[in-house]
Homo-oligomer: A and B are copies of this chain.
Amino acid sequence: MKHIQTLLLIEAVAKAGSIRKAAEDMNITSSALNRRIQNFEEEFGAPIFERLPRGVRLNPAGELLIQHIRGQIAELDRVRSQVADLSGLRRGHVSIACSQALQPYFMPAEIAAYRAEHPGVSFSVHVRDRDAAEEDLRAYKSDLALVFEPTHLGEFDVLLTLEQPVYAVMAKGHPLATKETLRLRDCLDFPHVVPPKRIGIRYLLDLAVANMSQKMQPVAEADSFEFMRHYVQQEQAVGFQFPIGLNLKGDDRLVFRPLQKRDVAHGNLTLMQMRGRTLSVASARFANQLAAALNNLPGELVRLDLKSN
CB within 8 Å of B: which residues of A? 1-7, 39-40, 43-46, 60-61, 64-65, 68, 71-72, 75-76, 79-80, 82-84, 86-87, 276
Residue ID in chain B nearest A7 by CB atoms: B3
B68 & A86 in contact (Cβ 8 Å cutoff): no
Residue ID in chain B nearest A67 by CB atoms: B79
Closest chain B CB from A194 CB (angstroms):
42
Instruction: Pick the contact of A83: B4, B64, B72 (CB < 8 A).
Output: B64
What are 9 A-B residue pairs whose CB atoms fall within 8 Å in the complex?
Answer: A2-B43, A3-B6, A45-B80, A45-B84, A61-B83, A64-B79, A64-B86, A71-B75, A72-B75
A60 & B86 in contact (Cβ 8 Å cutoff): yes
B65 & A79 in contact (Cβ 8 Å cutoff): yes
Closest chain B CB from A126 CB (angstroms):
26
Inter-chain pairs besides A46-B87, A61-B87, 15 sampled, C-beta below 8 Å: A1-B44, A2-B43, A3-B7, A3-B40, A44-B80, A44-B83, A45-B80, A45-B84, A61-B86, A64-B79, A64-B82, A65-B79, A68-B79, A71-B75, A72-B75
CA distance A79 to B48 in the complex (A): 12
A64: chain B residues within 8 A (beta carbon): 79, 82-83, 86
CA distance A45 to B91 in the complex (A): 12
A60: chain B residues within 8 A (beta carbon): 86
10 closest A-B pairs by beta carbon, nearest first, are: A61-B83, A68-B79, A3-B3, A3-B6, A46-B83, A276-B276, A1-B43, A64-B82, A64-B79, A72-B72
Closest chain B CB from A68 CB (angstroms):
5
A75: chain B residues within 8 A (beta carbon): 68, 71-72
A84: chain B residues within 8 A (beta carbon): 45-46
CA distance A2 to B4 in the complex (A): 10
A79: chain B residues within 8 A (beta carbon): 64-65, 68
A4: chain B residues within 8 A (beta carbon): 3
A68: chain B residues within 8 A (beta carbon): 75-76, 79
A6: chain B residues within 8 A (beta carbon): 2-3
A46: chain B residues within 8 A (beta carbon): 83-84, 87
A40: chain B residues within 8 A (beta carbon): 3
Residue ID in chain B nearest A61 by CB atoms: B83
Residue ID in chain B nearest A82 by CB atoms: B64
Closest chain B CB from A4 CB (angstroms):
7
A5: chain B residues within 8 A (beta carbon): 3
A43: chain B residues within 8 A (beta carbon): 1-2
Residue ID in chain B nearest A68 by CB atoms: B79
Closest chain B CB from A67 CB (angstroms):
8
A86: chain B residues within 8 A (beta carbon): 60-61, 64
